Amino acid sequence: MHILITGGAGLLGSRLAKALLKRNTLADAQGVQQTISRITLLDVVAAHGFNDPRIQTITGDISDPEVVRAAVTPDTQSIFHLAAIVSGEAEANFDLGMRINLDATRLILERARHNRNCPRVVFTSSVAAFGGILPAQVLDSTPTTPQSSYGAQKVMGELLISDYSRKQFIDGRALRMPTVCVRPGAPNKAASSFASGIIREPLNGTVSVCPVAPGTALWLISPGKAIANLIHGHEIGSLLGASRALNLPGLSTTVGEMAQSLERVGGAAAAQRIRWQIDPAIERIVNSWPGDFLTTRANAMGFTRDASFDAIVQEYISEELKAGGK
Amino acid sequence: MHILITGGAGLLGSRLAKALLKRNTLADAQGVQQTISRITLLDVVAAHGFNDPRIQTITGDISDPEVVRAAVTPDTQSIFHLAAIVSGEAEANFDLGMRINLDATRLILERARHNRNCPRVVFTSSVAAFGGILPAQVLDSTPTTPQSSYGAQKVMGELLISDYSRKQFIDGRALRMPTVCVRPGAPNKAASSFASGIIREPLNGTVSVCPVAPGTALWLISPGKAIANLIHGHEIGSLLGASRALNLPGLSTTVGEMAQSLERVGGAAAAQRIRWQIDPAIERIVNSWPGDFLTTRANAMGFTRDASFDAIVQEYISEELKAGGK
């Protein structure tokens, strides 16, 4: 069993690889559990922190056909396509977003089609698929109306995943991920980067700027649950219905409630390290995203969510701070 | 005022050109009516039947960047992007459909963006944007779930039109056209080709095979109304809302009712020239399309539909048969 993870050096990619190594098996195209013989981590920067003979790393640009050819081999039975230009950067650099989020996705799907082995492909889509005037809760039947280039590119990726699956070129699943929080490490160019920053930085003793109002609602998932749902999305037999795209469960909370969780779990001093200062460009993108969903379809399929935001903050403290993570 | 029509040699393209020549003015980017100085007809085959100094024809492949560069010039203020690989052909030849319906659309939008004059772009999408399990009437809020490669490519085009418009690269409008019927001329590779064939061929004295059951519902528009709505879609100030895609009004009718109209308007002998013989490949695609819509948004914007299918048949007889058309 050979698995490819694009974005393999990122937070989700490297955590997913670790979870798969530990698990040691994954379903093949027929749904039969196979021993994992190789996991290829493809990213524009080198993946590190692995000392396992099953890990192969490829460093390169996923919009380069030669790189994709080296990564998607005829024995690639599973692809987790996580690599993307994040929301804030795709909005600032339209061409880069199109090249990585759309063109590279096509390259990967085309290579998989070329190999004629119908691999399972798990593609990470996003709450940014939705936007504009939305119902209080986004339903499985709510139409996708992205209000960012990132969101538009993700929905185009979903359409490719669905059509390539319908044509039996691949067996794809496009999972619309909630905002992953609390991410360890440094801020990134996602418009949602603050959602992790306002928890992580204060717990690490430094100040963090919150660029949106306290009433802003977000749809969140912890890194641990995100990984569990990515693997679950790979393992389930099929995504029934007219589309391979699926809204994943999450936790609806406001930024103000997140600050209260931080105070409860991390202490008053930590909470006081949040500086509230609106950034209109970020606020416009974040406010276009839905903050609450009713994920009937995904719940019935066995996808799960975090118990509370307090539990998410606690998980970050236990796994990252106490383990000496950054 | 310079206008580009892609697919300019086709039924809609050439009729649109004639209607624009007669009209002689069109709204510019600021909504001001300007005299039409040039209409460029771009198609893979030469457009003919024009004897007007305002008409320029370019024969070439719209997926060729040089062809697009020649067609979308810095003074192009309006683009009607009608060129497409039709549904049946895009299903049979996936790569060709992607190249023309997606890649060429991107080339045209990129060239318009490059020119920095924010042209109005009218893009013809389709009822094939919808599929799977649908409500009895498709609403403006029904999500797009295409069940054909043509439909998937059209929805990707809509997403491009919406995002390029949001970024103010263009001022786009994606109009989801009903099936156009009765088309004069020869059958084409659209899965819906029979909808015109079962009226046109019997009226011309020859037999036509209907590949779907009489109960199959279709959403139809006459060529005349289609042209009127394309021009109206260009002229309206803006398409409000989170998406530039719009369901156009049409007439909901079953194939059996169409045969009855043929008998009423064209006579019993004509109706007896329909042979009923199911083609599963065509039936699968056509049955994935909705047969009825509630087009509240488009109706409010002033788009119009035909009075009855009898009137559509009568229009074909008056305009094509009696005018000596084929």
How far does B258 lie from chain A, in Å, by closest CA?
Answer: 29
* Tens-digit pLDDT profile for residues A30-78: 889 999 999 999 999 999 999 999 999 999 999 999 999 999 999 999 9
* Under 8 Å between Cβ of A68 and A111: yes
Do both B107 and B160 map to the same domain? yes
Do both A71 and A209 map to the same domain? no
* Tens-digit pLDDT profile for residues B277-298: 999 999 998 998 999 999 999 9
Best B163, B169, B239 residue to mutate vs chain A (most A CBs within 10 Å): B163
Cβ of residue B63 closer than 8 Å to a chain A Cβ: no
How far does A115 lie from chain B, in Å, by closest CA?
Answer: 16
pLDDT at residue A243, as a whole number: 86
Mean of the per-residue pLDDT values for chain A? 95
Task: Give residue for tokens 């990515």.
Answer: A230
Q: What is the largest CA-CA distance in chain B?
A: 57
| Residues of B marked as catalytic | 150
Do both B55 and B148 map to the same domain? yes
User: What backbone phi and psi angles, to 5 degrees, belong to B310?
Assistant: -55, -45
Is pLDDT of B242 > 80? no
- For residue B15, give its domain range: 2-178+223-247
Give the whole-angstrom CA distance, residue B131 versus residue B300.
25
Is pLDDT of B325 > 60? no
Is pLDDT of B238 > 80? no
Q: Is residue A12 in a domain?
A: yes
Give the whole-angstrom CA distance, residue B159 versus residue B241.
13
Closest in B94, B141, B155 to A159, CB measured: B155
Give the whole-angstrom CA distance, residue A303 versus residue A176.
12
* Under 8 Å between Cβ of B210 and B276: yes
Which residues are paired to A57 by β-bridges? A41
Q: Is residue A271 in a domain?
A: yes
Give the whole-angstrom CA distance, residue A37 versus residue A22.
12
Q: Is residue B187 in a domain?
A: no
Give the whole-angstrom CA distance, residue A77 versus residue A43.
19
Q: Between the CA of residue B258 and those of B165, B200, B235, B311, B317, what are the distances in Å?
A: 39, 12, 32, 11, 15
Q: Is residue A186 in a domain?
A: no
* Under 8 Å between Cβ of A185 and A11: yes
**CB contact (8 A) between residue B163 and residue A152:** yes
Is pLDDT of A169 > 80? yes
Which residues are paired to A25 by β-bridges? A35
How far does A55 lie from chain B, in Å, by closest CA?
Answer: 34
How far does B148 lie from chain A, in Å, by closest CA?
Answer: 7
A contacts of B141 (beta carbons < 8 Å)? 143
B contacts of A94 (beta carbons < 8 Å)? 167
Q: Between the CA of residue A179 and those of A132, A224, A226, B195, B242, what are the distances in Å?
A: 18, 13, 9, 47, 22
Tally Cβ neighbours within 10 Å of residue A133: 7
**CB contact (8 A) between residue B132 and residue A243:** yes
Residue A141 belongs to domain with CATH number: 3.40.50.720
* Tens-digit pLDDT profile for residues B255-264: 999 999 999 9
Cβ of residue A34 closer than 8 Å to a chain B Cβ: no
**CB contact (8 A) between residue B167 and residue A94:** yes
Best A153, A159, A162, A170 residue to mutate vs chain B (most B CBs within 10 Å): A159
pLDDT band at A133 (very low <50, low <70, confident <90, very high): confident
* Tens-digit pLDDT profile for residues B5-53: 999 999 999 999 999 999 999 998 888 999 999 999 999 999 999 999 9
How far does A326 lie from chain B, in Å, by closest CA?
Answer: 37
**CB contact (8 A) between residue A142 and residue B143:** yes
Do both B129 and B159 map to the same domain? yes
**What value, to the nearest 5°, has the Cα angle with vertex A63 and ends A57 and A66?**
65
Do both A18 and A40 map to the same domain? yes
pLDDT at residue B77, as a whole number: 97
pLDDT at residue B308, as a whole number: 98
Nearest alpha carbon to residue B90 among B44, B179, B154, B178: B154
Q: Is residue A299 in a domain?
A: no
User: What backbone phi and psi angles, to 5 degrees, belong to A121?
Assistant: -125, 120
Which residues are paired to A40 by β-bridges? A4, A56
B contacts of A166 (beta carbons < 8 Å)? 147
Do both A201 and A55 map to the same domain? no
Residue A277 belongs to domain with CATH number: 3.90.25.10
Cβ of residue B252 closer than 8 Å to a chain A Cβ: no
pLDDT at residue B75, as a whole number: 96
Cβ of residue B155 closer than 8 Å to a chain A Cβ: yes
Best B98, B114, B156 residue to mutate vs chain A (most A CBs within 10 Å): B156
* Strand A55-59 versus strand A76-81 pairing type: unpaired
Q: Is residue A184 in a domain?
A: no
Map chain A to HEC letters: CEEEEECCCCHHHHHHHHHHHHHCEEECCCCCEEECCEEEEEECCCCCCCCCCCEEEEECCCCCHHHHHHHCCCCEEEEEECCCCCHHHHHHCHHHHHHHHHHHHHHHHHHHHHHCCCCEEEEEEEHHHCCCCCCCCECCCCCCCCCCHHHHHHHHHHHHHHHHHHCCCCEEEEEEECEECCCCCCCCCCCCHHHHHHHHHHHCCCCEEECCCCCCEEEEECHHHHHHHHHHHHHCCCCCCCCCEEECCCEEEEHHHHHHHHHHHHCHHHHCCEEECCCHHHHHHHHCCCCCECCHHHHHCCCCCCCCHHHHHHHHHHHHHCCCCC
pLDDT at residue B241, as a whole number: 67
Q: Between the CA of residue A189 and those of A83, A118, B247, what are the distances in Å?
A: 14, 34, 36
Do both A65 and A34 map to the same domain? yes
B contacts of A162 (beta carbons < 8 Å)? 145-146, 152
Beta-carbon contacts of residue A313 (< 8 Å; ≥ 6 apart): A182, A199, A203, A261, A262, A265, A266
* Tens-digit pLDDT profile for residues B137-152: 999 999 999 999 999 9
The whole-number average pLDDT for the span A117-129 is 96
How far does B86 lie from chain A, in Å, by closest CA?
Answer: 16
Q: Is residue A282 in a domain?
A: yes
Nearest alpha carbon to residue A98 among B96, B109, B84: B109
A contacts of B143 (beta carbons < 8 Å)? 141-144, 243
Cβ of residue B116 closer than 8 Å to a chain A Cβ: no
* Under 8 Å between Cβ of A271 and A258: no
Do both B126 and B233 map to the same domain? yes
Instruction: At A139, list the tokens.
Output: 């339903």
Q: Between the CA of residue A294 and those of A66, A139, A181, A320, B13, what are the distances in Å?
A: 42, 5, 20, 30, 44
User: Residues 264-283, chain A: which have Cβ within 8 Å of B?
Assistant: none
Q: What is the DSSP string of B8-61?
A: TTSHHHHHHHHHHHHH-EEE-TTS-EEE--EEEEEESS---S---TTEEEEES-
Do both A149 and A171 map to the same domain? yes
Higher pLDDT, residue B122 or B237: B122
User: What backbone phi and psi angles, to 5 degrees, belong to B245?
Assistant: -90, 140
Closest in B145, B156, B160 to A242, CB measured: B145
Which letter does DSSP use for residue B220 in this model? E
Do both B116 and B160 map to the same domain? yes
Do both A32 and A82 map to the same domain? yes
Do both B152 and B203 map to the same domain? no
User: If DSSP codes are grouped into helix, strand and coil, which group holds residue B146?
Assistant: coil
Number of domains in chain A: 2
Q: Is residue A301 in a domain?
A: no
B contacts of A146 (beta carbons < 8 Å)? 159, 162-163
pLDDT at residue A324, as a whole number: 60
Instruction: At B66, list the tokens.
Output: 């040089």
Instruction: At B250, list the tokens.
Output: 């049409």
* Under 8 Å between Cβ of A221 and A227: no
Q: Between the CA of residue A83 and those of A21, A41, A273, B180, B301, what are the distances in Å?
A: 20, 11, 32, 41, 41
Q: Name the amino acid, one letter, at A39.
A: I
pLDDT at residue B326, as a whole number: 44
A contacts of B147 (beta carbons < 8 Å)? 166, 242
Which sign does the torsion angle of CA B33, B36, B40, B41 carry?
Answer: positive
